Amino acid sequence: MDPGLLVSDLLDTNAMTALIVCKDGSVKYINKTYLDILGKKEEAVVGKYIGDITPETRTLISLMTGKAIVGYNWSVNGYNMIACSLPLIKNGEIVACFAYSLFLDIWDAKDLVNNLMSELNMYKDEVHHLYSARHDFAEIIGQARNIQDVKFLAQKAALHPSITVLVTGESGTGKELFAHAIHKASSRSRMPFIRVNCAAIPENLLEAELFGYEEGAFTGSRKGGSPGKFELANGGTIFLDEIGEMSLSMQSKLLVFLQEKEFERLGSHHPIRVNVRVIAATNRNLKEMITQQKFREDLYYRLNVLNLDIPPLRERIQDIPLLASYLIPKLNRELNTCVTSMSDEALDIFCKYDWPGNIRELTNVLQRAMILADMENYLTITAKQLVFMKNHNETKDDSSSKTLRSLIRDYEKQILAKVLEETDYNKSKTANILDIDLSSLYKKVKQYGLTPENF
Ligand SMILES: Nc1ncnc2c1ncn2[C@@H]1O[C@H](COP(=O)(O)OP(=O)(O)OP(=O)(O)O)[C@@H](O)[C@H]1O
Ligand SMILES: [Mg+2]
């Protein structure tokens, strides 16, 4: 195909104006669209000096300087265009200038920008929602002295927006709830609240996740690099959940950040300073981990500026009726059920139970009981809907006819099933609670057939 024909075909479009001006300023080529806008015939333009046709032309500047002029506002006969003038260079010499318009009408550009802006605002809202605290102190239910004391301390922490807080407590006691509430009640509330689950991110990725990276910092790194969670949280709060699972080498890097308040992105030597409040949480006994050399003592003291130790539910059983009456209407909305209350007998079962999974377990048990009650058209949860709980509390005594090994196996299976249920079948949490390796948990789950379908 004739290459000349292809270029003129390309340029002869009504979507843009196109003009080629020779080094001496004479017009070499002009497309039909531009001729129509100028209101001229081809022979009145081609071969003529461009300065005589459009005196304000930038093509002459491009020819003189050899520099491209990109994206300027160009108005001709009522058409508001965005145009570009590009010098054409051959063997180091300026030979011509090519000028074209990006938009025939600036309103097209404005529409595009407006569309992009509304899209951008939508994403900003989304990110704000994703990176904002969703719970406040009003959602932390409890009249018992021990929880009231912790709540009081947490409200004080909210008033000091730079204090580092360490939230400890058993699984399901409300550690995350407290972190949200502190951020929301603090002067940082309009800024991001960013949660990082240190247990869920593989060790080799956690550093990049927290501190970000530069382009090319590692294979597979994103073009242009990426900010880390510390940068994203600037002005706000970073919630380092399950801090007890952080590797020792990552603990050292975190310690440096807490001391210096600055860090470098992976693959960069440029320090970045941020202003973030750190709230860390764990259900592990960090002091014990220090003695086992699994947690750095210096980091522990840096994090433990203020400790909120949330009491387990069994140490505040007087709150159980209150929690039930708070959770029942909430769960009714989620489950589309219409349960109104609990019988005295059912409440008694609740108060006598140990609640190793704390409020999360209480919520799950209530959910199950409410579904059962609803299926049987009960408005009140009675002992009948809690039979599955009683089974957990009672261990059948048929030991006389069994060998020690099979008794131990039965007991192990029972414990595993119980903890898996309490953690919503979360294997890493289960392994954690029982203090066994994840790999041996997988083995046992398989051995005892404790697959989710069997629950
Ligand atoms: N005092 C409370 N009042 C009402 N609901 C609560 C309270 N504490 C916890 N919850 C609810 O219990 C559930 C578990 O809470 P949360 O996730 O904060 O616990 P956690 O301590 O972070 O648990 P884990 O150690 O398993 O991560 C959530 O649904 C939370 O809303
Ligand atoms: Mg949590």
**pLDDT per residue as tens digits for the range 234-291:** 999 999 999 999 999 999 999 999 999 899 999 998 999 999 999 999 999 999 999 9
Do residues 411 and 373 both lie within one domain?
no
Nearest to 370 by CA among 334, 395, 407: 334
Residue 172 alpha carbon, nearest atom of ligand 1 = 23
**pLDDT per residue as tens digits for the range 87-112:** 999 999 999 999 999 766 766 777 77
Q: What is the pLDDT of residue 425?
A: 86
Do residues 257 and 157 both lie within one domain?
yes
* Domain presence at residue 429: yes
* Domain presence at residue 410: yes
Q: What is the pLDDT of residue 395?
A: 41
pLDDT < 50 stretches in the chain: 394-401
Cα of 174 vs centre of ligand 2, distance in Å, is: 7
Q: What is the pLDDT of residue 387?
A: 85
* Domain presence at residue 208: yes
Do residues 370 and 422 both lie within one domain?
no
User: Side chain identity at 201, as an amino acid letter?
Assistant: I
Cα of 392 vs centre of ligand 2, distance in Å, is: 24
Q: Which ligand is nearest to the CA of 366?
A: 1
Ligand 1 close to Cβ of residue 199 (< 6 A): no
Ligand 1 close to Cβ of residue 174 (< 6 A): yes
Cα of 336 vs centre of ligand 2, distance in Å, is: 26
Residues 173 and 146 sit within 8 Å (Cβ to Cβ): no
Q: Considering its fold, how many domains does the chain have in total?
A: 4
Q: How far apart are CA 174 and CA 184, in angstroms?
A: 15
User: What letter would DSSP give residue 234?
Assistant: T
Nearest to 283 by CA among 237, 245, 255: 245
Residue 377 belongs to what domain range? 329-393
Do residues 266 and 349 both lie within one domain?
no
CATH of residue 201: 3.40.50.300
Do residues 256 and 187 both lie within one domain?
yes
Whole-model pTM: value is 0.67
The helix/strand/coil state of 380 is strand
* Domain presence at residue 373: yes
Do residues 150 and 277 both lie within one domain?
yes
Q: How far apart are CA 381 and CA 109, in angstroms?
A: 63
Ligand 1 close to Cβ of residue 151 (< 6 A): no
Residues with CB under 5 A from ligand 2 (ion): 175-176
Do residues 251 and 364 both lie within one domain?
no
Q: Which ligand is nearest to the CA of 195?
A: 2
Do residues 296 and 342 both lie within one domain?
no
User: Tokens representing 199?
Assistant: 């247990």
Q: What is the pLDDT of residue 435?
A: 83
Q: How far apart are CA 88 and CA 83, in angstroms?
A: 16
Ligand 1 close to Cβ of residue 63 (< 6 A): no
Residues 308 and 176 sit within 8 Å (Cβ to Cβ): no
Do residues 94 and 175 both lie within one domain?
no
Give the closest residue (by CA) to ligand 1 atom 13: 360
Do residues 274 and 143 both lie within one domain?
yes
Number of Cβ atoms within 10 Å of the Cβ of 67? 13
The helix/strand/coil state of 75 is strand
The CA-CA-CA angle for residues 181, 182, 186, to 5°, reads: 115
Q: How far apart are CA 87 and CA 310, in angstroms?
A: 70
* Domain presence at residue 55: yes
Q: Which ligand is nearest to the CA of 175?
A: 1
Ligand 1 close to Cβ of residue 175 (< 6 A): yes
Cα of 331 vs centre of ligand 2, distance in Å, is: 20
Residue 281 alpha carbon, nearest atom of ligand 1 = 22
Do residues 350 and 275 both lie within one domain?
no
The domain boundary, picked from 370, 393, 416, lies at 393
Ligand 1 close to Cβ of residue 316 (< 6 A): no
Q: What is the pLDDT of residue 439?
A: 84
* Domain presence at residue 130: no
Give the closest residue (by CA) to ligand 1 atom 9: 174
Cα of 359 vs centre of ligand 2, distance in Å, is: 11
Q: Residue 240 to residues 159, 189, 230, 248, 278: CA-CA distances in angstroms?
A: 20, 17, 11, 15, 7
Sheet holding 18-22, edge to edge: 27-30, 18-22, 93-103, 79-90, 69-76
Strand partners, 278: 238
Ligand 1 close to Cβ of residue 177 (< 6 A): yes
Q: How far apart are CA 433 and CA 19, in angstroms?
A: 74
Ordered DSSP codes for 154-211: HHHHHHSTT--EEEE-STTSSHHHHHHHHHHHSTTTTS-EEEEETTTS-HHHHHHHHH
Q: How far apart are CA 439 and CA 431, in angstroms?
A: 9
Cα of 404 vs centre of ligand 2, distance in Å, is: 38
User: Side chain identity at 327, as an amino acid letter?
Assistant: L
Q: What is the pLDDT of residue 104?
A: 67
